[in-house]
């Protein structure tokens, strides 16, 4: 159920597999297994959704985000031992629940046109640092492309290829360090067929959205993810 629901949402938006899946898996799946399962499901979903990227697949726009993200991940991992990860996740959650609804209900979003590819790489770098530090690689580039004012095809292409690169890097690290256990590998065989059809359905539904409708879905999911971060970290901090 978790894989099917998460596959549908990721097929629709290009992200949020972990957010949706963990809402269900948190009650049944060992946390040690949940991490590899989220990365595996996210990676599979990104590959399945590649066919929907053609209208917005401009590598000149995408590669700065990916390059910046790959450079940022090692710094995030380095900071992991120096910054309280719970405090970091709480701060990100507060930012998302305050900023995303404000963007959602704004009549006219500010559109950032300056900075060029260097600024895009900076947004990717911030995502890479946040991913290495707290597994939160998505919010920074997603918010940035929204403020750029690009159409939904261009936004989805950046989001999906960026996440694909980050998850592929993470999965490679998991495999190299033996993090993927035999039990996790067995559950991969459950996740894959469960998410396959819902992911394809979500990708088909994406084409029926307008740019404004897609923006509302993305910002709404980010706001929900911020609320989930607050709800899961604040009790531990207190």
* Number of CB atoms found within 10 A of residue 124's CB: 29
CB 217 within 8 A of CB 154: no
CB 129 within 8 A of CB 72: yes
CB 160 within 8 A of CB 53: yes
CB-based burial label for 51 (10 Å; 0-12, 13-18, 19+): exposed
CA 117 to mean position of chain CA atoms: 21
Domain boundaries of the chain, sorted by first residue: 2-237
Q: Pull the structure tokens for residue 191.
A: 């996740």
Name residues whose C-beta falls within 8 Å of residue 143's C-beta, 6 or more positions apart in sequence.
99, 100, 103, 222
**Residue 51: DSSP 8-state:** G
Query: Minimal CA–CA distance to 230: which of 28, 72, 31, 95?
Result: 95
CA 101 to mean position of chain CA atoms: 18
Name residues whose C-beta falls within 8 Å of residue 76's C-beta, 6 or more positions apart in sequence.
128, 129, 130, 131, 132, 133, 134
Question: What sign does the CA torsion over 216, 12, 15, 90 have?
Answer: positive
Model pLDDT, residue 232 = 82
Model pLDDT, residue 233 = 85
pLDDT digit string (tens) for the chain, length 238 residues:
989 998 998 888 888 788 788 778 877 888 778 778 888 998 898 888 777 666 667 888 899 999 999 998 888 877 766 778 778 888 888 988 988 888 777 666 678 888 889 999 999 999 888 877 766 788 889 889 888 888 888 888 888 899 889 888 888 887 887 878 889 899 999 999 999 999 999 888 888 888 888 888 888 888 888 888 898 888 888 8
CA angle, residues 72, 231, 228, in degrees to nearest 5:
55
Query: Minimal CA–CA distance to 56: which of 162, 152, 124, 199?
Result: 152
Model pTM above 0.85: no
Model pLDDT, residue 135 = 67
Total residues belonging to the chain: 238
**Residue 208: DSSP 8-state:** T
Q: Pull the structure tokens for residue 95.
A: 């930012």
């Amino acid at each position: 159920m978790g894989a099917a629901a998460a596959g549908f949402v990721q097929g629709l938006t290009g992200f949020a597999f972990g957010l949706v899946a963990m809402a269900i898996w948190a009650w049944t799946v060992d946390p040690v297994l949940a991490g590899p399962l989220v990365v595996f499901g996210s990676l599979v979903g990104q590959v399945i959704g590649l066919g929907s990227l053609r209208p917005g697949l401009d590598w000149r726009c995408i590669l700065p985000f990916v390059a910046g993200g790959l450079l940022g991940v090692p710094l995030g991992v380095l900071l992991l031992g120096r910054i309280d990860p719970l405090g970091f996740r709480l701060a990100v959650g507060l930012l998302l629940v305050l900023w995303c609804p404000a963007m959602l209900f704004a009549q006219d979003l500010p559109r950032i046109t300056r900075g060029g590819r260097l600024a895009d790489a900076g947004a990717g770098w911030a995502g890479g640092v946040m991913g290495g530090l707290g597994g939160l690689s998505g919010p920074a580039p997603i918010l940035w492309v929204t403020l750029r004012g690009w159409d939904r095809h261009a936004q989805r292409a950046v989001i999906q290829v960026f996440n694909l690169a980050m998850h592929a890097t993470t999965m490679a690290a998991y495999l190299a360090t033996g993090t993927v256990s035999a039990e996790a590998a067995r559950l991969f065989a459950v996740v894959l067929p469960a998410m396959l059809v819902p992911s394809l359905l979500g990708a088909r539904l994406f084409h029926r959205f307008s740019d404004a409708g897609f923006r509302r879905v993305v910002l709404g999911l980010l706001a929900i993810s911020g609320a989930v971060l607050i709800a899961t970290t604040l009790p531990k901090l207190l």
